[in-house]
Structure 1
Amino acid sequence: MNSMQLLRKHCAALLILFAASLGLVGCKSVTSNDTVDYKSAGAVRGPNLSYPPDLITAQADRRYIVQDGSATMSEYNAAVKKSVQTRKNVMTGIPGMRIARDGERRWLVVEKPAPELYPQIKDFWQENGFLLVIDSPSTGIMETDWAENRAKIAQDFIRSAIGGALDSLYDTGERDKYKTRLEVSKPGETEVYITQRGAIEKCTTDSTGSCISTIWTARPNDPELEAAFLARLMERLGMTQEQAKAQVAAPLGPKTPKAKLVQEGVNTAHIEMAAGFDRAWRDTGLALDRSNFTVEDRNRANGVYYVRYVNPKDLGDTKGFFTNLFSSKDDSSLKAKKYLVVVKAAGDNSSTVYVQDADGRPENTAAGLQLLTLLTEQMSR
């Protein structure tokens, strides 16, 4: 266990003893009624190695970074509040807003053009305690930094007694980040997709089973967190809380596998999907969002996603990666490579997905096969 964690544990133990002397330890612990209450990692001054690696987006393109983490959370929240109060285009309600679904996937359909929705959704994430590391109106993509869901921490009397000044002693050991993508499905109508990625802190042990250090590893996607934020976004755009919750809570359809990896040679493969182009395009986009990809641009008419991907194996040791993540070095140190993910209709109810290199040539390499395998796994969940 590292020195910072030991310090936290020792301080927490002393505080518990102090609280016990006040007769507080015997009180029953209760959890928060809210399921989401995030505290952004980006508000911490300087490098903070207790947060998981981004693996692609936070340092992928500094053109999109809108907050460098030099402000405290209170300063940042005050600025966001002022910005929201002075913004004149806050919507009071949107007719025709609804939740669409396909199996276990949900997304929001809004009868408004994407340029009108984008600033509202940007405000929404900032109001919910997130900093944005990608803010790209031209592509309709925004992504939050890693943040901790403080609602998972027990709200007991001890924590209430010590107050917010020592709040950092409590840690869930989990972090989340969210990506939002706006797609224009037809003139005057926009589809809004929210996807979550999670990380969890795990111990590495020695031969005796003792925890000697911790590392951050990916944890499974949580559709319920995505649904919670879809409901909150609907409220932000003018729907009542009851209406939003009812739409999100409607029963999901049956889960049907729609993707199959077809390997033609050693490193030659493609994905076959039992779906027409519209569904295949949507499912491919969601799979990219939930994987370790950054979508730089897309061309729906040609069925092409322009993506960047960092292979974790190319990053070297974990400590070195953390150093790169929070340093001011050139982004090329992350060894991101560019690819084209191409979706083609093969019939009314079938489509094919290929991976090409940055020049549009077939990516018949081990890397191409790995990318297709990752996408197939996501599409089949």
Structure 2
Amino acid sequence: MNSVSSLRTRALQRGLVLLSIFLLSACAALEGDKVDYGAAVQNTPLAVPPDLTQLPQDTRYALPGSTVSASTYGGGAVVNTPRAQTVAPSVPGLRLEGQGGVRWLIATGMTPEDIWPKLHAFWEETGLKLSQDDPKLGLMETEWAENRAKLPQNFMRKILGALMSTSTLDLYRTRVERVAAPDGGTSTEIYISHRGLEEVYADDAGSNPDGSRKTIWQPRPSDPDMEIEMLRRLMIKLGAPAEQAAAQADRQTAGLTDPAQAAPKTAQLEQRNGQSVVSVREPFDRAWRRVGLSLDRTGFTVEDRDRSQGIYYVRYVQPPKTGEEEPGWWARTFGGAKPLDKTPRRYRITVRAEGNLSTVAVLNADGAPESSEQARNILQVLVDDLH
């Protein structure tokens, strides 16, 4: 009897050990590489969730003559001239900078024309396709894709990998700015912003007779860690040693959580002469940089920008209010309900210097002050992201 009991005890112990190993392996989603978007290229592209497609470019809105675009700011137009081949080209200065929640890469001695083809190769090697590629604006944007590195790294993935999903999607926008270097040469600032979606249940369990449940895609907060990770990888792609890139990325990541390095709140919504504006306690260069990244993160369609005048030309669709849903066919047909207004409207977001301070305002498409509720909502979106 004792031997039988002993065998049962050992069998139970083995079972508990195996169960523990399984549970631990199931939780090890990010134990290895942080990024795995290979499925975005190898498999059928993921369908973009409804109402979250990138607004198409509208060439009718292009402003002739006066606008200084990203590719021409601080220099001439893009000219594809052959470059002489060198045996061992020198690596330009590459530095990862950060301020508050903003991180960017400075490439000293490299122009946007030098960097653009390398950016193409970078996103292709990452496993992401581009949905927007506009050298005039200095903007690239990827398609929505699933980061498979978030799946459990265990034998269940090997068996059910094709059927498993993280229920999240990622999109990255790259913005390239030409700036003047302190020594009079040319430098390029590169920003990578992240946007995320998550699939959530739109109804309660048991609410449908057949047991099914409806899901919807909704925005989730941007991930600063992934922005830093992509900048680190790009830094290596542009020629920086891996150890140097890792050290700078670690320092910027620490700045996200270290209270001593956290930037104080610098943006607040104010009323001036009957118009809502955002007051930013930053000089123009920093405010311009932060506003641009906030526009990228929060889903605005930036059609052009003029840094010399401090203007972003954008289109914006007002998101539904909390609890507001698109009326169904029955409500529209027999109840007279009107569909939600999804018409994109054009605005100019201005950044104006006031000494060591800056003011952000919303103008309409004609350049007149905009005092509508939607303009205030746009500024509130920027304040929430700028902090």
> Same fold by TM-score, threshold 0.5 exceeded?
yes
Q: 1:374 aligns with which of 349, 361, 381?
A: 381
Contact 1:271/1:352 (8 A) holds in 2: yes
Contact 1:40/1:131 (8 A) holds in 2: no
- Could you say which residue in structure 2 is the equivalent of 1:159? 157
* Distance verdict in 2 for CA 1:373–1:213, change over 3 Å: same
Contact 2:311/2:349 (8 A) holds in 1: yes
* Distance verdict in 2 for CA 1:344–1:244, change over 3 Å: same
What displacement does 1:167 show? 3.2
Contact 1:92/1:237 (8 A) holds in 2: no
**Aligned-partner SS, 1:181:** strand
If each structure's helix is expressed as a fraction of its own residues, which one has the higher value? 1
Q: Does 1:270 align with 2:277?
A: yes
What displacement does 1:256 show? 1.3
Q: Does 1:226 align with 2:227?
A: yes
Which structure exhibits the higher relative contact order, with contacts defined as CA atoms closer than 8 Å and separated by 6 or more residues? 1
Q: Name stretches of at least 5 consecutive residues in structure 2 with no aligned partner.
A: 1-17, 60-84, 256-260, 330-340
- Could you say which residue in structure 2 is the equivalent of 1:95? 92
**1:286-311 CA distance string (max 9 Å, x none):** 11011120111111110001111122
**Aligned-partner SS, 1:234:** helix
- Could you say which residue in structure 1 is the equivalent of 2:218? 217
Compute the RMSD of aligned alpha carbons: 3.0
* Distance verdict in 2 for CA 1:129–1:93, change over 3 Å: farther
* Distance verdict in 2 for CA 1:305–1:242, change over 3 Å: same
Structure whose alpha-carbon radius of gyration is higher: 2
User: In structure 1, how many angstroms separate the alpha carbons of the residues matched to 2:42 and 2:384?
Assistant: 34
* Distance verdict in 2 for CA 1:334–1:39, change over 3 Å: farther
Sequence identity percentage: 39
What displacement does 1:279 show? 0.8
User: In structure 1, how many angstroms separate the alpha carbons of the residues matched to 2:21 and 2:98?
Assistant: 44
Report the count of equivalent residues.
Answer: 311
- Could you say which residue in structure 2 is the equivalent of 1:9? none
User: In structure 2, how many angstroms separate the alpha carbons of the residues matched to 1:318 and 1:136?
Assistant: 36
- Could you say which residue in structure 2 is the equivalent of 1:323? none
**Aligned-partner SS, 1:228:** helix
- The 5 A counterparts of 1:242-261 are 242-250=243-251, 251-252=254-255, 253-261=261-269
* Distance verdict in 2 for CA 1:207–1:54, change over 3 Å: closer
What displacement does 1:184 show? 1.2
User: In structure 2, how many angstroms separate the alpha carbons of the residues matched to 1:190 and 1:359?
Assistant: 31
Q: 2:49 aligns with which of 52, 67, 78?
A: 52
Q: Name stretches of at least 5 consecutive residues in structure 1 with no aligned partner.
A: 1-23, 64-87, 321-332
Contact 1:113/1:189 (8 A) holds in 2: yes
Q: Which amino acid aligns with 2:250?
A: A
What displacement does 1:235 show? 1.0
Please identify, of 305-314 and 184-193, the stretch whose mean Cα deviation from structure 2 is larger.
305-314
- TM-score normalised by the chain length of structure 1: 0.74
User: In structure 2, how many angstroms separate the alpha carbons of the residues matched to 1:42 and 1:54?
Assistant: 23
**1:15-36 CA distance string (max 9 Å, x none):** xxxxxxxxx9996325451011
Contact 1:142/1:180 (8 A) holds in 2: yes
- TM-score normalised by the chain length of structure 2: 0.73
What displacement does 1:367 show? 1.1
User: In structure 2, how many angstroms separate the alpha carbons of the residues matched to 1:120 and 1:179?
Assistant: 15
**Aligned-partner SS, 2:162:** helix
